[in-house]
Amino acid sequence: MPPAKSRLPPFDNSLSEDEKIVQSFLTIIQTKLDYKILKSPTKNERKVLEDAILYPGIIIGSLFGIGTFIGLRKAPQLVLNYMNKSRFPNKPPPQYQEGLFVKVAGTILDGAMASLVGLTAWTVSLDKQKVLDSAANIPLMAGNSEISNVLCDDFVKMYSSTSPRFWKTNTDDTVVAIQKFVHNCQKREMYERQIKQELGLSYEEMKRIDLDLPTAVPEDIMEKDKDSFDWAAVEDFEEKFDEDD
């Protein structure tokens, strides 16, 4: 039996099949999540992303950067003054003072070096797992979620078109986060549908109207939905839909 052909778009041949799948999701993010959304996410989304990306990395990076800048500015003067003191043990040594040009140029160079050190420290201290978990849980947040509105449909479609074996056997952190994001998208959709049904909205209204969720999506919404699903209501709805046709 010939092997099944990949349904994924063509990528660089140097990528493995698993990497191509991940790249497919990254492509969706690049093409669908425009600069406007990234620049002005909703308040809740901004809080989640800032907490995951900035803390504690920004604090650690700032401490390293400030410490490096102070060290670069003060260390040369301390060393030169110590050397002068050794050369003139019997009288007060001349104190080294920077000229204006050296001071300005040195401040710029030291500031650039300190910024690089601070950025490196922030990057190293960044908690990748925290960032992935925070991003994956965005669909569960209350209110409106622009990121979920833009990405969920395409992510769910791509997830469904990928072999289930891939999701079961791949334990890479990024892959697990993608799978979690998709599952949370499905939970958000189910929660929205429940609320719209409780409001008595018609099928067309349910498709057309976007709701701000009053509370965060319950983690166990899938299990609750299975236990409390009203099949009679679905049959009544289908009968009305057939009558309209």
At 237 the pLDDT is 43
> What residues contact residue 45 under an 8 Å CB cut-off, 6+ apart?
138, 141, 145, 146, 147
Instruction: Look at the pTM and tell me if it is higher than 0.85.
Output: no
Q: Which of 30, 55, 37, 28 is nearest to 145 (CA)?
A: 37
Element containing residue 213 per DSSP (H, E): none
Residues facing residue 213 across a β-bridge: 143
Phi and psi at 143, nearest 5°, equal 80, -150
Structural domain spans, the chain: 23-37+128-244, 57-125
> What residues contact residue 194 under an 8 Å CB cut-off, 6+ apart?
221, 225
For the chain, 245 residues long, give each residue's pLDDT as a single digit of tens. Answer: 444 444 444 445 566 777 788 888 888 887 776 655 665 567 777 777 777 666 666 677 777 777 777 777 776 666 666 666 666 566 655 555 666 776 777 778 877 887 787 777 767 766 778 888 888 888 998 888 888 888 899 999 999 988 888 888 888 888 899 999 999 999 999 898 888 888 887 777 777 777 788 888 888 777 765 555 444 444 444 444 445 44
